[in-house]
Amino acid sequence: MRGKHDPNPALLGLIYLILILGLVNHNGKPSQRSHWLFFIAIASLCIYRVFFCASSNIASDYFSTGSITAAFFISLDYILLRKHQPELRPSGQKPLSEMPLKDRLWWATSLSGHPRGIGWTHESTLHIPPRPSSTPGRFILSQLMWMVFYILQFDIANILVRANPCFATGGPSLTAFGWLWRSTAWLYVSLAYSMLSLLYITYSILSVAIGMSDPRDWPHIFGSPLDGYTLRNCWG
């Protein structure tokens, strides 16, 4: 169902731009009231996009709305709640309050692109997979091989999903079939796993290839499923 307005694909970029400016404005001073202005601007854009915009493509709206919602909570954390947390910075970097404007701008851009905090002081080292230790060339070759694996995984899972008539437009309910057909719903977990892994691998190859990061900055996005036998291991 369409909304009152068509979604603007540039809106997410605008939200992150305001987030970066809000982080730069922070300047290591938690008492500044102007932080609220940046968050209110972001929250207003997020509410507008989620509740008042929709297109004819439900799948596209689902993914874009998820990204907008994630940006809302990231902004809430970094702009408002960060004043109650230890200062976030790359390991070995000087405090934010001592940085010039150019360095704060680079710091804010990097922080918004490091949701797991890899290489930062707030990195969760106990729950991050082992870091790669190979050379850039070997790392890129290894990532390309993993990319082929995840492409095959995605295609196989997608073929099996399409074979189930319940997932077709206007198809019957899953309850109309036995448990064998119902179990194919788990294939969506495999689809999400492989798609996220492919995006992550693509970014890692580009970043290492142009020298923006080292292979050790790109541990696998997911840990081993065998480690998920407790909530602490699963959620970190």
Q: How confident is the model at residue 173 (pLDDT cuts 50, 70, 90)?
A: confident
Enter the tokens of residue 3. Answer: 């909304």
Q: Calculate the average pLDDT of the chain.
A: 82
How many CB atoms are located within 10 Å of the residue 10 CB? 9
What is the pLDDT, as a whole number, of residue 46? 92
pLDDT: which is higher, 32 or 21: 21
Read off the pLDDT of each residue in 189-203 and give the average, rounded to a whole number: 91
* Total-model pTM: 0.69
Task: Return the bridge partners of 53, or none.
Answer: 5
Measuring CA to CA, which residue among 139, 87, 137, 78 is closest to residue 113? 78
Token representation of residue 120: 């930062």
Place of tokens 């919602």: 69
pLDDT at 160: 84
